[in-house]
Amino acid sequence: MDSNTVVLSLLVLLTCAPRCIYSEESHLVKMNLVQNASSLGAYCLDGSLPAYHLDRGFGAGARNWLLQFEGGGWCNDIKSCLDRAQTRRGSTRYMSKVEVFSGILSNTASLNPDFYNWNRVKLRYCDGASFAGDAKFDNGTSLLYFRGQRIWQAIILDLLPKGLGQAKKALLSGCSAGGLATFLHCDDFTNYLPKNASVKCLSDAGFFLDARDIGLNHTMRYFYKDLVSLQGVEQNLDKNCTTSNLYPAQCFFPQYALPYIRTPFFILNSAYDVFQFHHALVPPAADPHGHWYHCKLNPVACNAVQIYTLQGFRKYMLETLRFFLISSRRGGMFINSCFAHCQSELQDTWFAPDSPRVNNKTIAQAVGDWYFGRNIGKDIDCAYPCDSTCHNLIG
């Protein structure tokens, strides 16, 4: 397998930015640099200061907090991280200074009924390791900071005196690589907050599987192994997981970390997650002749063998989640069969008249019911192509 091809394909810049927000619904929130981050050695890949966007809560939600990790892939070698450091995924210098808050971050009750009046925070992603690394590369010519763990700590410490430290309710969430970060930091988030606070966590499109690709290679496993080694991630992984696992680096995978998470957790994921479909199940190196090209663009174009392979991927995801489905009394799930990636920040998939549904529930309804204990459910969709509510947002 061509490792360079794997790296390049996995560095596709994922974004959870809303794709169809009408101007009257747009809500722009400015970026705040964490000025004290340098005292902790918390820097983006290029040495710039980390940042977040905070939209203040109001009314009954003034003491409730929702923190959302931004997503955007990873880098697992010096070249890809140097390249990344020259983009918005590795430097706040290149980031937009305002962000649209929509979906789960919306401040409008009709668009986000349960969390609209909470303090809502978007944590910008600039380290390339799901906010989990702690290392530095300096060869005298190039300098890279792998300080995701310190960035996470610096942002939390900046928010605590701004009201997070007195939170009554809190939800840590994230999309894609940010969704994976939620698995890694969920219990740590709980430890920062008051003992009597209601703290829960949500991962959107972050349940990346330790699965073989169509060439029977462990593409994601080796990619993460290199990432964990390069960025000094292992020391920040759950100690109970790493001491129980023959290969500690695999605790970067949610399926191995999840059993050790004590905080109530909700998993929002597509069983046919587009990123995993394109880069884990069928990475370019495993399909050199492009037999999957049309199937990747539109599932309707998939042949019988390809559909069978996709159904096998869904089956494996559900198998890895079986223990959580059965044993977690406080956990929630929404596993739909849409070809999508990141559904909580998109208004049309989060909460809209034509939003995807499972058991006649939108994602916003399922998450809200779970968080507030109205109806703790684990909703699993039927297999593709049975769900007519899907938008199938292949990108």
Of 55, 273, 287, 381, the catalytic one is: 273
Name the E strands within 124-244: 135-138, 143-146, 169-175, 198-204
Look at the block and give the residue holding tokens 């390809």.
Answer: 306
Task: Tell me if the bond preceding 353 is cis, omega within 30° of 0.
Answer: no
53 carries an active-site annotation: no
Strand partners, 216: none
282 Cβ neighbours under 8 A, 6+ residues apart? 213, 214, 292, 296
Q: If phi over 0 gives left and psi between -120 and 50 gives alpha, with beta otherwise, what is residue 163?
A: left
- Residue from 133, 99, 81, 109 nearest 16 by CA: 99
- Of 57, 156, 114, 58, nearest to 344 by C-alpha is 114
Asked if residue 218 lies in contact with residue 133, where contact means CB atoms within 8 angstroms, the answer is no
The single-letter code of the amino acid at 83 is: D
**Which listed residue (226, 341, 348, 355) is catalytic?**
341
Task: Count CB neighbours of 285 within 10 A.
Answer: 18
Sign, CA dihedral 88-93-96-99, equals positive
Report d(CA 363, CA 355) in Å as an integer. Answer: 8
CA distances from 178 to 70, 138, 175, 204, 223 (A): 5, 27, 5, 8, 17
Residue position matching structure tokens 């070809």: 339
SS3 (DSSP) at 69: strand
**Distance set, CA 125 to CA 145, 163, 248, 252, 314 (Å):** 13, 22, 24, 17, 28
To the query of whether residue 134 is one of the catalytic residues in this protein, the response is no
Q: Which of 9, 102, 176, 337 is catalytic?
A: 176
Instruction: Say whether 80 is catalytic.
Output: no
Residues annotated as catalytic are 176, 273, 341
